[in-house]
Structures are given as C-alpha cells and as structure tokens.
Amino acid sequence: MKNHENIKKFNDRVDYRLSGNEKRIIRENRKEYFNSKKIAFIFVLYKTPRSDLKRLTKEVKNLLLKNYKIYFVDNTKNNLGYAGGVNIGIKKAIKDSCQILMVANPDISFVDFQNKNFLQGLKKFDILGFALRQDKKIYYGGEIDKWRLSGGLIDKKPPARFFETDFVSGSLMFIKREVIEKIGYFDEGYFMYYEDVDYCWRAKKAGFKIGIDSSLIYDHFEAGKVNHKKNFYLFKNRLKFLLKYGSLKQKVRDLLRSPKTIYEEIIKRPFYLNFFSLNFSSVINKILHFFMFLVLIRFFPPSTYALYTLAWTHIGLFQPLIDAGTTTYGLVHLEQKNNKRHLDLFNLRIFLGFFSTVITILTMFIFPYQKTLYLPIFLTATVILSNSISGSFLIFTSIKEKAYIASFISLFFQIKLVILTVLLVLLTKNIYSVFIVIFLIYSIYGIVCLYLIKKEIGDIKLVVNLKSWLAIISKSVIFLTISLLASFYSKIDVILLNKIKGDAAVGIYSSAYKFLDALLFIAASYNVSSMPIFSKLAKENMSLFKSKIKKDIFMLFFIGFSIAVGVYFFSPILLPFIFKYDYLKATIPLKIIIFALPFILLKSVALNSLYSLKKEKVVIFVFAFQLIYNFLGNYFLIPRFSYVASSWITVTGELINTLLLFAILRYALKNLR
C-alpha cells in the first residue's frame, strides 16, 4: 500500500502537458527508425490498483508513439510468476504483429521518456534497458560475477551514453522480436527474480547485444521491497542459474564457499538470524548446564546437590513476576524510536525485579527450608534482578531486529559461569563456591546489560509512572497468572519432597528430572516458531488451522514418545557411566518421569491453539487444577513412596492437564461461528 502511495506522490509532481510544437519535434525524431514498427507495452500485474493502470496508460500515451498496443497481464488469480505473465503478454504481442516488445512491472514510471528519443538505443542493442532509480540510488544495468555466476546491478555511471552490459533489469526492458524468435520465451521456472538475468544470458550466447541508455532514468518503486519472500527467491534462483549455466569449477567453488553464503543469507534476514541465534543460545545453555550438572553430581552427594536444586527451585517460584507479560507487550506495542515508552517499560521491569527479589528473600524464611539454604538463596537471588535488566535489553534489541546481540551476550556469560563453576568445584570441592560464582557472574551480566540499555535508549532515569505501568500490566495479567500457576505446580513437588523426605531425596529426584528439563528446549523452540503461524491461521483460514493442529499432534507425540521409550530402555545401560553411588537410585524416577515429555509437547499444541482463539482465561482454571492435583498428590503419597510418587504425579498431572486442554479446545472449535 505504501508503494502505491509513493507512486501517487511522484505522479502528482509530473506535468504531462506538451506544446503542439514539442509533440511535432518528437514525432519527427522518431520517423527515421520507429514509425513503421509496432511496439507492445506489456505490464505484468499482481493485485495492482486501477489507478496504476490509468497512470501507465497515460504515460504510454504521452510518449507520442504512432503504432503501439498496451497489454495488461493480470497475474492475481493464476499467479504464474513474473516470467509466466511476461510470456502471456509476449505471445499476444507477437500474434498482433508487434516488432518491439517492452516488458515492465506496474510499479515503475518513465515520465522522463516523454520528450526524449528513448528508443534510439535499439539501433545498438537487441535488448535495451535504462538507468534505474530505486531506493534513492541509480543503477546502470547489471553484470554477472564470473567467479560465482551471480547477477548484480551496477551503481557506477558508465562513461558513455550507450553502454553494453551483461543484463538489464526486468523491471523495464525493450526486446526486439527477432530475439524472441531465436531464443524463445522467458524461463518460468524462476517464478520471480533472475528471469531477466537468464534471458539476457541466453540472448548474449545467441549473439545478440544487451545494453542500456544511461541518459534516461526511470523510477522503480519496488513493490517487491515489502515482499518478505524476495531474499528467498533471489537465493534460490541464483543457485538455479548457477546449476543451469555454471561450469564444474564454478559449482565446486560455490560449494566450498557455502558456509560464507549461508552466513550472508542469514544476515539479510533479521528474523532468521534472531530465531537461529536465540534457539542456538538456548540449546547451548541447556548443554552447558547439563554438563555442569554432571560435574556437580560427581563431586557432591545427593544431600549437598539438593542445596543447588532447592535454591534454583525457590528462585524460580517468582520468576514470572520479573516479566509480568512485559516482554510480549514490548515486542507488540513498542516502536524503534520512542524512548519515553522504552524508559517506562524499563522502569517497570526494574521495579518488578526489585519486588521479586525482596519477595524471594523474605519467603525463604516462611518456607520449611533448612538454615543452610539461606545463603545459597540470598546469593542466587541476584539472578532475578539481572534477568530483569537483561530481559529489557532483549526487548529493545528485538524491536530493532537485533535480538542476536542479546542472545550472544547471554551465551558468553553462561559459558563463563559454567567454566568458573567447574574450576572452583575442582579446586575447592565446596558447594558454596558455586553460589559465589553465580552471584558474581550475574551481577556483572546485569551491569553490562544496563550499560548497553543506556546506549540504546539514552539517559536512564528511575521514575515511577503508575498510569503507564498499569496500562502495560492490564494487557498481560492473564499470561502472568498462567505463568505463576505453572511455576508453582512444577516446583511444588521438590518443596514437599524436601519437607517430608529430606534433601537426599530431593537430590535423587532432581537429578532424574534434569534429563527431562534438558529436553524441554524442544517445546520452547516449537512454541516460538509455531505461535505466529497459529495466530495467523486462526484469523485467516480455520480449515488450515485445524489441519495444523492435527499434524502437530502426531509430529510432537511421535518425537516425545520416541525419546521417552529410548530413555526408558537405554537408561539402565547408560546411567551407570554417568551416575555413581546413591545417584543410581535416580534410574527409577527417570524411567517414569521421562514419559511426561510427550504430554508436555502435546500441551504446547493445545495452548498455542487456545491462545490463538483468545481462550486464555480458561487455561487459568486448568493450571489451577493441576497445582491442586500436584500438591495433594505429593502431600499424601510422598510419605509412603518418596520421589517415585513425585515422578508419577508429574506424569499423570501432565496427562490430565493435556486431556483437559484438548477437551476445551475441541469444544471451542465446535462452537466457532
């Protein structure tokens, strides 16, 4: 839409009126070569407004040609691609005995041609192009890189008016009929982009000349600029062109260069770069912390390892308060340049970070913890405020499509954390050294992110703006409630197990649960990638929405169940190489708890679907039920069955939760109007 507005603004400045004498002079200049030749103007349309058709018709009329015909090929319904649309127009033009064929996009303007002898270049070239103005830059045809066989536009002005090039832009090109009669039509396999490079390559190989008239400039408003598939087609069709015409040496060279090519393509696509970096960082973090877990259980007995588990469990209880849905709000509602709203969001997150830290420290005296756990919780509480600051940095970089910066900084500090922790454990064999490292690394991480935020939004002033804060929280309170309930029901088993059976049982159960936790990145990656798709389909195509639900159910259940069965049968063989002494008891709860994975993955499908259907409030009741179920089940069964009870409660709780969510989803889908 913006593209068409640009065209309208441009044409509002154009005066099409010419004096009678000017028209006579132009006609006289063209008599010599073009008076007897019929010219076809072929425009390939795709959802093009009628106003553009009228504008193009008027522009062609003002060229004052005596013998011409305009062909508007509407590709909106058949969607054959640009090359397919061009071929339809060419066939019609040849049937009408046209001898010169112009093919062009509808988002161009050649008003500069109206008082010029613009076809003079056809005396020198068989395929003619012109200087192209696009994105405030001017290009003069294109050249093909002989090393990689890739096409690129030339931005250096040539020394002469008529300049031979490897190809001319397909956005506006004139072709002599004899070229088409000899080499045929455009290759429709390209769909869009590179069809012009391919056609000029074939023409040149057949002995025809290709070049531009650099004295004439036309404007291309580039509707393709807002086409998110442009980079994909450019990449795909460059490879097609290479495979079609490249020598063995060129193909091998490009294959060897593929890592650099992939990097270049990712850089062009901020979404994929950010998505890849965030998931890469997440997976590496899981691997690093799993490695640290293996080191800890090699040096500390279950009762000591329980201190580490319980500290993180307690910190995790109030983690949702740090965000309170502000990440979603920031990504949806904030713009790149609005420092006041950025500052309001930052201050709110700082306040939530301080509040969550205080609540976390105070509640450790209320919960039935041993006093030896107080210092670990106090030191680990640094993570809360640090995550509050680093989360703000992630929001601000994501808005600018630079989330990869935040993800790699996070990864850097996680690597430092694991390396220092392992070294200190090896040197001191003291569990408290782990918490000192956590305190130091997360403190430095928070300070670094604070400095980077200051560079992003300018001066940081801690100001309370209750009105703005309430507006933000009011839009995310449902998700905050869901997150809190999920946090409590997933950690209540460890707290009760510690109270009833002691820290040794916690250490054994937590070491088994760590394997399940390490695999939850599958659910996280699925949620990030599928949620936008679910939201879009729910609005646009309910049939495809239901189809995706079914496909994802089968896919994720297969993945989750296959992993669970593999762990069940192979854990007795492999775990003796990992676990020693009392940790070998974790084999039994692991063989049970791993079967929660397929249900957690299925639950992701149900939750994404319900969120897309605006049924978030119902999810609150399901999660509240699971919290009650987990509490009562663990409270009554742990005294008799210890951590085995916690394992079964986790699996059955996820099963019941999944069944309830899908029952609600089925009812919601049936009652859609």
Residue of higher predicted confidence among 301 and 346: 301
pLDDT of residue 272: 57
Residues whose CB is less than 8 angstroms from the CB of residue 146 and which lie 6 or more positions away in sequence, other chains included: none
pLDDT of residue 498: 92
The torsion angles phi and psi of 519, rounded to 5 degrees, stand at -95, -5
Q: What are the residue ranges of helices labelled H in 114-246?
A: 177-183, 195-205, 230-245
Q: With 90 as the cut, is the pLDDT of residue 642 above it?
A: yes
Residues 369, 223: Cα–Cα separation, whole Å: 63
Neighbouring C-beta atoms of residue 306, cutoff 10 Å:
28
Residues 279, 404: Cα–Cα separation, whole Å: 10
Q: Which of 160, 143, 164 is nearest to 152 (CA)?
A: 143
Residues 472, 401: Cα–Cα separation, whole Å: 22
pLDDT in tens, 153-196: 998 999 899 999 999 999 999 999 999 999 999 998 888 889 99
Average pLDDT of every residue of the chain: 84
pLDDT of residue 116: 80
pLDDT of residue 480: 74
The 10 Å CB-count burial string (b at 16+, else e) for 574-583 is: ebeebbeeeb
pLDDT of residue 633: 95
pLDDT band at 486 (very low <50, low <70, confident <90, very high): confident
Residues 75, 86: Cα–Cα separation, whole Å: 10
Q: With 90 as the cut, is the pLDDT of residue 225 above it?
A: no
pLDDT in tens, 244-278: 988 888 888 888 877 777 666 665 655 556 656 66
Residues 53, 58: Cα–Cα separation, whole Å: 9
User: Could you tell me whether strands 68-74 and 39-45 are parallel, antiparallel, or unpaired per DSSP bridges?
Assistant: parallel
Tokens representing 300 are 């500390």
Q: Please, what is the end-to-end C-alpha distance for the chain in angstroms? A: 31
User: From residue 218, how far is each of 59, 138, 224, 664 by CA, in Å?
Assistant: 12, 9, 17, 58
Residues 671, 673: Cα–Cα separation, whole Å: 6
Q: Are 39 and 98 in contact (CB under 8 A)?
A: yes
pLDDT of residue 175: 95
Give me the sign of the Cα torsion angle 95, 100, 105, 110.
negative
| Percent of the chain at pLDDT exceeding 90 | 44
Q: What residue ranges of the chain are covered by domains with CATH 3.90.550.60? A: 2-224
Least confident segment among 337-341, 378-382, 388-392 = 337-341
**pLDDT, average across residues 390-401:** 79
Provide long-range contacts, Cβ within 8 A and 24+ apart, for 377-382.
Answer: 377/311, 377/314, 377/315, 379/435, 379/436, 379/438, 379/439, 380/311, 380/312, 380/315, 380/435, 380/438, 380/439, 381/315, 381/357, 382/438, 382/439, 382/442, 382/443, 382/446
Residues whose CB is less than 8 angstroms from the CB of residue 555 and which lie 6 or more positions away in sequence, other chains included: none
- How is the chain split among helix, strand and coil, in percent rounded to 5? 70, 10, 20
pLDDT band at 24 (very low <50, low <70, confident <90, very high): low
Query: What is the CA 221 to chain-centroid distance, rounded?
Result: 26
pLDDT band at 242 (very low <50, low <70, confident <90, very high): confident
Residues 298, 545: Cα–Cα separation, whole Å: 48
Q: Are 295 and 305 in contact (CB under 8 A)?
A: no
Q: Which of 348, 357, 352, 350 is nearest to 389 (CA)?
A: 350
DSSP 454-494: HHHHSS------HHHHHHHHHTTHHHHHHHHHHHHHTTHHH
The torsion angles phi and psi of 339, rounded to 5 degrees, stand at -65, -25
pLDDT in tens, 646-666: 999 999 999 999 999 999 999
User: From residue 289, how far is each of 165, 421, 496, 602 by CA, in Å?
Assistant: 57, 10, 25, 25
pLDDT of residue 577: 81
Q: Are 147 and 171 in contact (CB under 8 A)?
A: no
Tokens representing 157 are 């002005």
2-224, what's its fold? Spore Coat Polysaccharide Biosynthesis Protein SpsA; Chain A (3.90.550)
Q: With 80 as the cut, is the pLDDT of residue 398 above it?
A: no
Give me the sign of the Cα torsion angle 571, 576, 579, 582.
positive
Least confident segment among 561-575, 607-621, 657-671 = 607-621
Q: With 50 as the cut, is the pLDDT of residue 12 above it?
A: no
User: From residue 412, how far is each of 21, 193, 295, 426 by CA, in Å?
Assistant: 73, 40, 20, 22
pLDDT band at 575 (very low <50, low <70, confident <90, very high): confident
Q: Are 474 and 367 in contact (CB under 8 A)?
A: no
pLDDT of residue 102: 94
pLDDT of residue 331: 54
Side chain identity, residue 506: V
Q: Which of 259, 254, 260, 229 is nearest to 242 (CA)?
A: 254
Helix (H, G, I), strand (E, B) or coil at 430: coil
Which residue's structure tokens are 């009554």?
636
pLDDT of residue 530: 74
Q: With 60 as the cut, is the pLDDT of residue 224 above it?
A: no
**pLDDT, average across residues 354-365:** 92
pLDDT in tens, 442-451: 999 999 999 9
DSSP 591-613: HHHTTHHHHHHHHHHHHHHHHHT
DSSP state of 112: G
Give me the sign of the Cα torsion angle 580, 585, 591, 596.
negative
**pLDDT, average across residues 105-127:** 87
Least confident segment among 24-33, 457-466, 531-540, 641-650 = 24-33
Secondary element (H or E) of residue 127: strand 127-134
Q: Are 218 and 108 in contact (CB under 8 A)?
A: yes
Q: With 50 as the cut, is the pLDDT of residue 143 above it?
A: yes
> Pseudo-torsion of CA 574, 576, 582, 588, nearest 10°?
40
Q: With 60 as the cut, is the pLDDT of residue 335 above it?
A: no
DSSP state of 187: -
